[in-house]
Structure 1
């Protein structure tokens, strides 16, 4: 079974790509992983129940409107800034944080393709891959936002309705709550699956065949339907592996953090003992130490994230050879052959595949699913790519 066999092959491919260790390559991959480590940190907070938990006999103030909030603020704060100033500052902070989050998600979507190109080729060229896949990143960004809205709207709307309209608890409300929890679990699992398959498999097709997100999904669905058992086993194995690896990573990261922190703690303590202006140097040493610990944690993720991504590469290529993004690396680990700069996989998306004779052979044999170099098939290209270039 491919989903099982590829577990071992992914280790070999990862080792061949990341060794011998090159500091520049690992640092660039660590930078990329900083952005694609996760679009959000945690989920939406639990809604407030609105229950008064003050002790019996205690007095409280009911705030039902913005005017009541302003009156409460003015009664508590006499020498502080105006209520409107505080309100605008809070609103500006919220908007600023939201925009930063959007920027992080956007950059992360672009970095997904930079990571793919860095793993399929022999070089990590962040700027070049960013320029060549800017459009792909924007499409993936839009798809991720739409997918997130598809998750949040069905979850938030019922809560808002209940909080705004329900005044007392009932058995019917409890039954609806249980149904809501079940639906939220199903919806969350569906979101996780679609998001993972998009990130791991659909992005490969976007790179390989120059398609948009939805067009790449339509290309991937026949493979998924005909290999449901393979991908079901993949999902189960990945979730188990991620659980185990996350536990081990947490322990290892903690040990590395302690080791890296020791010299900075010693130097910082010396500056603190000296006192005076040296305190500022102690703060600087602390900041540098935290950055080094963060960098060490990212470097530990390089082989882990590369392994899981190569696992997805191998599985997609085994279940659909026409969608194989790393044929040379696959052949190298299974036959013992070399993978070098002259191979087709090392050329990225800038046209080095002209030197790959297999590409010409596919075209000569009439394989329309392979690379096309014959500019005479405009109608076929329009059908397969141009009209699908958007979503």
Structure 2
């Protein structure tokens, strides 16, 4: 029996190569990186910081290494903050939290719509972010609402699972039996969370496969999810192997992206750190502490955004490959006719060369 998850790897690699390098277009790469940036993804690079040194003999932290201009800036900032009334501070905090909440909602909606933009770009081999975004705004909203509902359900389940912990802690039973109950409940909760992660991962897989079905069969997202589930019941063996294969493939891709990204980002961090240090010594001679550190903090924020975008550029080819792999699998498993830019190219199925259209014709 042929397993589609393996059969379509070569096709996904070929489509990725053609899409990204034939011809190589730096504008296309930047557009795709922007799409991947909004979508997010599992990749990411965390750089740990070093803690400051402490003089344990004195009993207080040694802050002599901090520039005087920075401590002056913090003192000035603290003085200005202390002059605000409590009501003003409360209003400012509430407005700030509302702003963050609004930004999260907007970015979440944009990211959900960009899922459709990415698929359309890969299928057509033509990245038109604005045009595709306008085209799929409605479907993007449906996807975003669905994901928010699933997130709320997940949070609700976790909250309900936390109630026994709260109850046990409130009982204040510090004896051996109480500790054993808490430890046992902790491990049971970990098991339940793992099961939930698998269940929600499966639901997420159905949703991802439903996106192109909704696009190219002109159906609603929920209807497309129902169609995927119906096909799952008809051919569940392929999808089970698909999930296992995707986990292995995802880990492999993540390791590759992580190694490349770590090398590039470390080099960029060293370069940016050197530039920031040079700017500090130069500007420290001509600017006051408040202006200097306000400027440097603004520069650092911009640099963090640049590093995030560079991370998206690094992840982008791997995201493209994984999406092409999913689309290629869907063509064979679901037998959907996606208007792929290379639909007449041969595809290897079970060791033989067939076109996608031929591979999707059921055997007599």
Normalized against structure 1, the TM-score is what?
0.67
**1:243 matched to 2:251:** yes
- Structure-2 change in CA distance of 1:161 and 1:176 (3 Å): closer
Aligned twin of 1:202 = 210
User: Does the CA-based 8 Å contact 1:267-1:282 persist in structure 2?
Assistant: no
Aligned twin of 1:49 = none
User: Does the CA-based 8 Å contact 1:143-1:213 persist in structure 2?
Assistant: no
Structure 2 gap ranges (5+): 45-81, 349-356, 358-364
Of 214, 226, 229, the residue aligned with 1:218 is 226
Matches within 5 A, 1:19-98: 19=21, 20-38=23-41, 81-98=84-101
**1:334 matched to 2:334:** no
- Structure-2 change in CA distance of 1:139 and 1:167 (3 Å): same
1:134-184 superposed Cα distances (whole Å, 9 cap, x missing partner) = 100010011001111121111112324642684234355655444333222
User: Does the CA-based 8 Å contact 1:314-1:330 persist in structure 2?
Assistant: no
Deviation (angstroms), 1:90: 3.6
User: How far apart, CA to CA, are the structure 2 residues paired with 1:247 and 1:155?
Assistant: 30
User: Does the CA-based 8 Å contact 1:7-1:311 persist in structure 2?
Assistant: yes
Aligned twin of 2:321 = 307
Aligned twin of 1:17 = 19
User: Does the CA-based 8 Å contact 1:265-1:286 persist in structure 2?
Assistant: no
Aligned twin of 1:189 = 198
User: Does the CA-based 8 Å contact 1:151-1:188 persist in structure 2?
Assistant: no
Greater Cα shift, 147-156 or 260-269 = 260-269
Greater Cα shift, 130-139 or 30-39 = 30-39
Deviation (angstroms), 1:96: 2.7
Deviation (angstroms), 1:220: 1.2
Of 127, 132, 157, the residue aligned with 1:154 is 157
- Structure-2 change in CA distance of 1:194 and 1:227 (3 Å): same
User: Does the CA-based 8 Å contact 2:265-2:307 persist in structure 1?
Assistant: yes
- Structure-2 change in CA distance of 1:224 and 1:283 (3 Å): same
Deviation (angstroms), 1:228: 1.8
User: Does the CA-based 8 Å contact 1:114-1:133 persist in structure 2?
Assistant: yes
- Structure-2 change in CA distance of 1:284 and 1:177 (3 Å): closer
- Structure-2 change in CA distance of 1:40 and 1:87 (3 Å): farther
User: Does the CA-based 8 Å contact 2:331-2:337 persist in structure 1?
Assistant: yes
Higher RCO (CA-CA < 8 Å; seq separation 6+): 2
Deviation (angstroms), 1:241: 2.2
Structure 1 gap ranges (5+): 42-78, 336-357, 359-391
- Structure-2 change in CA distance of 1:133 and 1:301 (3 Å): same
**1:316 matched to 2:315:** no
User: How far apart, CA to CA, are the structure 2 residues paired with 1:265 and 1:326?
Assistant: 47
Deviation (angstroms), 1:283: 6.8
Deviation (angstroms), 1:240: 1.9
How many equivalent pairs are there? 297
User: How far apart, CA to CA, are the structure 2 residues paired with 1:285 and 1:88?
Assistant: 28
Aligned twin of 1:274 = 282
User: Does the CA-based 8 Å contact 2:43-2:315 persist in structure 1?
Assistant: no
User: How far apart, CA to CA, are the structure 1 residues paired with 2:31 and 2:347?
Assistant: 28
